[in-house]
């Protein structure tokens, strides 16, 4: 049964204090929720397990020590996590261990039902983390966002990924970004596009890690993370 708008609004309002609490929580507290399945009743495991593992990745990545990664891995394909959350944990742990080959295998596993549309974005994030240099895969990503069926936000997110992978002159990444992230949008999105193009055209040695965020992410009280206002979500700054 489709929830009525008023019921849905009430459900979302009830969720706000929980999200605020999670935003302020330490990694071990978030892991404990996953391990004990202490998901709030109004949302439940399907949404919250994905939310929590994505939050750990986005905002506590450098705190995911081998011991914490082991705790996360122990939950994969168990009742503690939804199938999507299990997929994400597996991919994130591979990225943290620098397992590029296995990530590419996942990208190519077209018969694996877990590789959903959302899963593709997770893999792109992981490619960004391991600084994938496989031009075949990078060109596949570029071709994907060039398809008219892709939603605008997805194209923008992918543009950030390409810029971070810095395929430089070896691909048509800049040309595609200019084409699909068009001018008929908000100033914030245009600024992100220009930042992506700048990064693509600049020597990687000129950029250093942004100290104001976690890989381009900053805390938000209502969603998993928001792009860092200093580096616009790229995680690096000039100089």
Which residues contribute to the site for Zn ion (CB under 5 A)? 210, 212-213, 228, 230-231
Please state the closest distance from residue 160 (CB atom) to Zn ion, in A.
12
Please report which residue ranges of 74-180 form alpha helices under DSSP H. Answer: 83-96, 100-108, 117-130, 135-145, 152-165, 173-180
**Minimum distance of Zn ion from residue 224's CB (angstroms):** 16
Query: From the CB of 179, what's the least distance to Zn ion, in Å?
Result: 27
Q: Cα separation of 41 and 49, whole Å?
A: 13
- With CA atoms as reference, report the closest residue to 223 among 23, 2, 4, 13: 23
Question: Residues in the chain, how many?
Answer: 239
* Nearest distance from C-beta of residue 40 to Zn ion, angstroms: 30
- Rounded alpha-carbon distances, angstroms, from residue 162 to 108, 199, 218, 236: 18, 10, 21, 14
Is 39 or 234 the residue whose CB approaches Zn ion more closely?
234
Nearer to Zn ion, 64 or 213 (CB): 213
The residue among 197 and 230 lying less far from Zn ion, judged by its C-beta, is: 230
**Of 119 and 216, CB closest to Zn ion:** 216
Between residues 52 and 160, which has the closer beta carbon with respect to Zn ion? 160
**Alpha carbon distance 196, 224 (integer Å):** 22
Is-contact 80 71, C-beta < 8 A? no
Closest approach, Cβ 3 to Zn ion, in A, equals 37
Least separation in angstroms between residue 231's CB and Zn ion is: 3
Quick one: 84 or 228, whose CB is closer to Zn ion?
228
- The β-bridge partners of 238 are 207
User: How distant is the alpha carbon of residue 118 from its chain centre?
Assistant: 9
Specify which residues 227 forms β-bridges with: 217
Q: How far is 207 from 163, CA to CA, in rounded Å?
A: 12
């Amino acid at each position: 049964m489709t929830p009525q708008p008023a019921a849905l609004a009430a459900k979302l309002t009830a969720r706000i204090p929980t999200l605020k609490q999670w935003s302020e929580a330490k990694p071990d507290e978030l892991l404990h929720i996953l391990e004990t399945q202490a998901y709030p009743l109004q949302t439940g495991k399907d949404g919250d397990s994905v939310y929590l593992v994505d939050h750990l990745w986005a905002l506590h990545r450098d705190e995911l020590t081998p011991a914490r990664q082991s705790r996360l891995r122990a939950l994969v394909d168990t009742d503690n996590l939804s199938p999507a959350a299990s997929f994400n944990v597996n991919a994130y742990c591979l990225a943290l261990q620098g397992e590029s080959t296995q990530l590419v295998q996942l990208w190519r596993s077209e018969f694996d039902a877990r590789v959903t549309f959302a899963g593709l974005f997770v893999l792109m994030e992981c490619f960004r983390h391991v600084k994938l240099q496989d031009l075949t895969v990078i060109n596949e990503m570029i071709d994907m966002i060039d398809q008219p069926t892709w939603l605008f936000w997805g194209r923008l997110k992918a543009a950030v990924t390409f810029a971070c992978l810095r395929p430089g002159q070896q691909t048509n990444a800049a040309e595609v970004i200019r084409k699909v992230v068009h001018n008929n949008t908000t100033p914030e999105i245009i600024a992100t596009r220009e930042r992506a193009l700048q990064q693509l055209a600049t020597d990687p040695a000129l950029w250093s890690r942004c100290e104001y965020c976690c890989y381009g992410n900053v805390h938000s009280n209502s969603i998993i993370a928001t792009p860092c206002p200093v580096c616009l979500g790229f995680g690096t700054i000039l100089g």
